[in-house]
Amino acid sequence: MKKEVHILSTLNLRDEQTEQVRNISKDIHLTVLHVDDRKEISDSLWEQIDVLYTWDLLPEPDQAPNLRWVQFQSAGIDSFVNHPLLKKRDLIGTTMSGAITNQIAEYVVMAILAFGQKLPTLLQYQKEKKWPSESEKRQRLLPLELRHSTVGIVGYGSIGRQVARLLQPFNVEILAAKKDVMHPEDAGYTVEGMGDPEGHFFDRLYPIEALHSMIARCDFVVLALPLTSDTFHMMDAEAFEEMKPTAYVINVGRGGLIDQPALVQALKTKQIAGAALDVFEQEPLPKENPLWEMPNVILSPHISGLSQHLSEETFTLFLENLKRYMADLPLHNQIRVDAGY
């Protein structure tokens, strides 16, 4: 059992949440400072903390000599994976992967159904107050039915697994790609009744190295990977050439997974049918970006993970990890700095 554990939360906690933290052990000392700049935290406070619960406020290694665990309030850590603090040999970093997956998965299903049922085209007809002819209906509004479709999920982590779960009633063929195909089960944090902990919801599992072979078969390609040096621009011109001209790409991972100029070219030349993009290499997306004007693109401002239940669900994971930390048990979602996530 840990003794005298000092916790700093830079996230705002409700009174009942602070009480839940303190009730885990009488040896826990919790400080809540809802701040946006690490300079607002005194050196004396940094020096005494053992645990940090934060979005992205990190001290320099020598500022927090006793810090042993950082729980991030995000699933992706690409923006600070190279921070010197995470290089400390005796420090554990953990993410919120698995706690913020369902809303993102619902966004993916929304985009798949919107493209499959030709919603962008329907909305354009509505805007123009135009009733399409019978030939136009057959040419432009013929649906892509899920029960006759193949969805490829690139990155079979917590988000990808929840997408697969939500797609089960549609009787769709599901292909998945992950780094380690020898272990299809999910070793991360999973909320009961969500995801695919045992790896049962895909029809075929591919290694990432066989990405092009997989996406060539897909009607919808879902990107749900972290951004690392290995995944940067993995969807490039060559990848889009492998896709069907009737296929769509949906990105809820990171903007850097896609080579944007290659995507724009693939969309302009109808090499692929469309794209739903919630993340971009540059955010906000510049107004002059051609993606804004493309009729076969659904854009959203990095909101697929928004949920009115977000703070409660992520806090539940932090609380579970804190209990494990106090009992010297392995923590959920430990960051692998060498792998970039």
Round to whole Å and give the CA distance between 40 and 155.
38
CATH homologous superfamily, domain 102-299: NAD(P)-binding Rossmann-like Domain (3.40.50.720)
Q: From residue 233, give the alpha-carbon distance in Å to each of 48, 145, 154.
A: 41, 29, 13
Cis-peptide, bond into residue 59, ω within 30° of zero: no
Degrees, nearest 5: CA angle 120-110-248: 60
pLDDT along the chain (341 residues), means of 10: 86 96 97 92 96 95 96 88 91 93 97 98 97 97 97 97 98 96 92 96 98 98 95 98 98 98 98 98 97 97 94 95 96 90 85
In the block, which residue shows the tokens 């659904």?
Answer: 298
- Residue-level pLDDT at 2: 57
Catalytic residue among 161, 165, 254, 332: 254
In sequence order, what E strands does 25-161 have? 28-32, 51-54, 69-72, 92-94, 150-154
Catalytic residue among 238, 283, 309, 336: 283
- Residue-level pLDDT at 127: 96
- Residue-level pLDDT at 176: 98
182-230 tens-digit pLDDT: 999 998 899 999 999 999 999 999 999 999 999 999 999 999 999 999 9
Round to whole Å and give the CA distance between 257 and 228.
9
- Cβ 301 vs Cβ 284: under 8 Å: yes
Round to whole Å and give the CA distance between 325 and 318.
10
Q: Where are the domains of the chain?
A: 5-99+308-326, 102-299
3-state secondary structure of 130: coil
Catalytic residue among 47, 302, 313, 324: 302
- Residue-level pLDDT at 230: 94
- Residue-level pLDDT at 187: 87
- Cβ 107 vs Cβ 166: under 8 Å: no
Q: Do domains 5-99+308-326 and 102-299 have the same CATH topology?
A: yes
Q: Is 302 annotated as catalytic?
A: yes
CATH 3.40.50.2000 fits 5-99+308-326, yes or no: no
Specify the DSSP element, H or E, that contains 263. Answer: helix 260-268
Model confidence, pTM: 0.94
